[in-house]
Amino acid sequence: MKKLLSLATLLLLGIAVNAQEKKTNPSYDAVLAKKYEADDNGMKMYILVILKTGANTTATKLESDSAFAGHMANMGKLVKENKLIVAGPMGKNDKNYRGIFILNSKSIDEAKAILATDPAVKAKLLDADLFNWYGSAALAAYLTEVDKVRKFK
């Protein structure tokens, strides 16, 4: 019985050690990992921005239209600069959340500086909550395909 218990313990220990052993990914591309600044897990830190309705409730329609046209143009500029990885509006909700950004930024302060370039944020039509977010370093890869899946520009 003692031998059986020892054998079972050794087997379980062997399984546990084997489960913790890291196996090299045969699809790993070191050049691509470096391009996207991936860590060994294929991940990296970003800044998640939740955009919400800002404090400015007195803007005219013309001011608001102008600021949001600038907001859209600024997003295009940030994509070209590889600073904005994901952006999109949110559906109606009771929290006044309007949309999200995932910024290719290393710090909250750097992300705040990026947001300061947004005309809708400057006009206080939008405000933002910022969070450190750990996600796939390959997230930016979808940007090369985005024009291939949208029918209209």
User: In what side-by-side order are the strands of the sheet with 126-136?
Assistant: 84-89, 97-103, 43-53, 126-136
Minimal CA–CA distance to 53: which of 130, 123, 113, 104?
Answer: 123
What's 145's DSSP letter?
T
Q: What pLDDT digit, counting tens, does each position of 90-100 carry?
A: 999 999 999 99
Average pLDDT along the chain: 89
pLDDT band at 58 (very low <50, low <70, confident <90, very high): very high
Residue 64 pLDDT more than 90?
Answer: yes
Q: Is the pLDDT of residue 79 over 60?
A: yes
Residue 95, phi then psi, degrees to nearest 5: -105, 0
Q: Which string of DSSP letters, residue by residue, matches 83-126?
A: -EEEEEE----TT-EEEEEEE--SSHHHHHHHHTT-HHHHTTSE
* Type of residue numbered 18: N
Q: How confident is the model at residue 151 (pLDDT cuts 50, 70, 90)?
A: confident
Q: Is the pTM of this model over 0.85?
A: no
Amino acid letter at 58? T
User: Distance of alpha carbon 135 from its chain centroid, rounded?
Assistant: 6
Which structure tokens are listed for 21? 């052993």
| pLDDT tens track for 5-39 | 555 555 555 665 555 677 888 999 999 999 999 99
Bridge pairing between strands 43-53 and 84-89: unpaired
